[in-house]
A and B are shown apart, each in its own frame.
Chain A
Amino acid sequence: MHLILAVWSGEYEWQDPKSEDEVVNITFIDKEGKQRPVRGKVGDNVLYLAHRYGIELEGACEASLACSTCHVYVQEEYYDKLSEPKEEEEDMLDMAPGLKPNSRLGCQIILSHDLESMVLKLPTITRNFYVDGHVPQPH
């Protein structure tokens, strides 16, 4: 199923739910701190769902676990309901600024009924990169 989703690269998320049974409602908190409720469905990839609704979640590497731009904070009650991150995801999370215990990559979260009402918070733009003596990042 994930392979099919990867090939479609966001096509699936642009389809509306076929029935109310499929619906999974979640809320994004965007970079400005605004609540953005979104009506998704079972099987939706959070990154592509965010793109459909204009949520500013970047996906530079297009869900291939080669960047950390889709970093989100998962509401604590829901963190354990997500499937365990793969080693590759953990490796990429290591590079995300503002890493917290409830951090995940959005492109690895697939919606299910368990995740109904989940809140996902986008990290706010930090000023790390403009302070003298900035935090060294690997490259």
Chain B
Amino acid sequence: MWSRTTKNIKNVVSYFRTVNFSSQVVCHQKVCIVGSGPAGFYTAQHLLKNCPTLEIDMFEKLPVPFGLVRYGVAPDHPDVKNVINTFTAIAKSGRLQFVGNVTVGKDVTLNDLRNAYDVVVLAYGAAQDRWLGISGENLCNVVSARKFVGWYNGLPEESHLKFDLDAETAVIIGQGNVALDIARILLTPIDMLKKTDIAQHALEALSQSKIKNVKIVGRRGPLQVAFTIKELREMIKLPGNSYRIHLENPEFIDACLPKTSRPRKRLTELMLQSSSIKRSEEDSSKQWELIFHRTPIKIVGDSNANKVNGLVVGINHLTGDDWENPQVEDTGLRETIPCGMILKSIGYKSLPLSDELPFDHAKGIIRQTEGRVEGMQGVFCSGWVASGPVGVIASTMQSGHDVGKRIIEDLKNGIVGTGTRKPGRDAILSQLEARNVEPVTFVEWEALDNEERERGKYQKKPREKIVDVREMIDIAKKGQS
């Protein structure tokens, strides 16, 4: 399997070398990319293909690369993580330097980067939560989906978290793929989970979990769900589980189908078919439900323990002719859903990594046009930090390639990268040394990668993720095996 990966990397590297010479630009400028997830790597890929003489440095806050591919994609979706091979080939192409364990905004500033590089690309994603803004949101066991996903994926920042999984019912607010990922991880038989790269602390906690019922609650209706068909199918086929899809008006939904686009039509048809199938109760000790038209009003708790014990929702109905963007009207009716845990899966947000960065705080994104940050020549942005936290790897790939194109345009047209030669990485590395920061190289990451795989062998997992930053750095720097 490892030799197959090596062959893959060889193939990707040779493909990578087959560049289209006629469209190339000769440029020796220095570029830095902040963030080593899909946005950062796909932007780098485009730049290196079209401008092979550029020097590119990629800064990453953690000692490990790959962003949400490592920390967002669910442990039981290993195929989605294959893109790591593409990114590894880019990192080893010889023209990109990965510099891990460096927090831009703390260890170095945006200004430091602008002084050192001709081009700065911000591709640091969205690592903050959106809030409901309702009372009771601070009660114990009310958690953001982002934190929960970070927890089971071994994100160092969230790995120490403790959740109370003793409750029988958990409510997930939101109906996107993240909501379904969480439901699936809560309900998948442990025997299946233990073969994945799920973080060990999460596996242990989940093996003690008493959660038997997961209610996935959405404000709008079945036609507005944000999850996709592959994920819904997985839920329907989940071993050991029965389900209920609460369709209040299937005839209306059915009537809307001819007006919908293909993806929406197929997804909705699956929901309609599945809601009428009676799933056998024999092998299902657990259940998930899809509940629509419920707006969270407040979270109520057990006054002694300060812990959640219910979600009060308003029942709404949708009006207006535009079924894609309906008006949500409160009927005035209220319901309380008893539960012992609430996960808020309502989206992510970015934060500006410097005060000077023009930022749209309402949307949580950098102010930009076509990837060029407003009013900051030479500064670009790519991926979720630019477009908002929505989209799969394929869409971020488009974003990365598109911004790459704009950067090359600006280099060609002399809009950026003219003037005095920039010092590049050396300037930043000396600053880091002065501040006692230990940057981690890609080769050092590979030593850490090997260690995780080795540890995984004992547990029969693809890898055992190391969740402590200090330990990561120590292993990385100890030397290659």
Which chain A residues have a beta carbon within 8 Å of chain B's beta carbons?
Answer: 7, 9-11, 14, 32, 48, 51-54, 56, 58-62, 64-69, 88, 90-92, 94-97, 99, 125-130, 134, 136-139
Contact = CB atoms under 8 A, between A and B. Distances in A.
Interface in B40-88: 49, 77, 79-80, 82-83, 85-86
25 contacts: A7-B4, A9-B4, A14-B11, A51-B12, A61-B79, A61-B83, A62-B8, A62-B79, A65-B79, A91-B228, A91-B266, A92-B230, A94-B262, A96-B394, A125-B398, A125-B405, A127-B370, A128-B398, A129-B387, A130-B371, A138-B176, A138-B392, A139-B176, A139-B178, A139-B390
B225 to A, nearest CB: 9
Contacts of B229: 91, 94
B263 A94 contact: yes
Nearest to A51: B15
Interface of B: 4, 7-8, 11-12, 15, 18-20, 23, 49, 77, 79-80, 82-83, 85-86, 176-178, 226-230, 233, 262-263, 266-267, 368-371, 386-395, 397-399, 401-402, 405
Contact of A51 (B11, B371, B395): B11
A61 B82 contact: yes
B150 to A, nearest CB: 15
Contacts of B233: 91
A66 B226 CA distance: 18
B394 A127 contact: no
A130 B387 contact: yes
Contacts of A95: 228, 263, 392, 394
Nearest to B368: A130
Contacts of A53: 18
Contact of B394 (A10, A11, A60, A91): A60
B394 A68 contact: yes
B263 A60 contact: no
A67 B263 contact: no
Nearest to A6: B4
B393 A67 contact: yes
Contacts of B20: 54
Contacts of A128: 398
Given A62-B8, A97-B398, A32 B391 contact: no
A67 B394 contact: yes
A137 B371 contact: no
A98 to B, nearest CB: 10
B429 to A, nearest CB: 32
B414 to A, nearest CB: 23
A119 to B, nearest CB: 19
A60 B83 contact: yes
Given A54-B19, A91-B229, A69 B177 contact: no
B74 to A, nearest CB: 11
A125 B192 CA distance: 39
Nearest to A50: B15
Given A53-B18, A139-B391, 19 more contacts: A11-B7, A48-B11, A54-B15, A58-B86, A60-B83, A60-B86, A60-B397, A61-B79, A66-B79, A66-B82, A94-B262, A95-B394, A96-B394, A99-B263, A130-B399, A138-B177, A139-B176, A139-B226, A139-B389
A22 to B, nearest CB: 21
Given A9-B8, A129-B395, A54 B18 contact: yes
A67 B85 contact: no
Contacts of B395: 97, 129, 137
The residue in B178, B230, B233, B267 that gathers the most chain A C-beta atoms within 10 A of its C-beta is: B230
Contacts of A64: 79, 82
When A and B form their complex, which 6 residue pairs have the shortest distance between CB atoms, in order from nearest? A54-B18, A94-B263, A66-B79, A64-B79, A60-B83, A62-B82
Contacts of B389: 139
Nearest to A63: B82
Nearest to B178: A139
B392 A67 contact: yes
B77 A138 contact: no
A129 B397 contact: no
Contacts of B79: 61-62, 64-66
Given A9-B4, A9-B11, A126 B392 contact: no
B477 to A, nearest CB: 31
Contacts of A130: 368-371, 386-387, 399, 402
A138 B11 contact: no
A61 B230 CA distance: 15
A138 B79 CA distance: 18
B390 A137 contact: yes
Contact of A91 (B85, B226, B230, B397): B230
A15 to B, nearest CB: 13
Contact of B77 (A10, A66, A99): A66
B86 A136 contact: no
Contacts of A62: 8, 79, 82, 85
Nearest to B384: A139
Contacts of B388: 134
The residue in A66, A92, A126, A139 that gathers the most chain B C-beta atoms within 10 A of its C-beta is: A139
A6 B177 CA distance: 28
Contacts of B85: 62
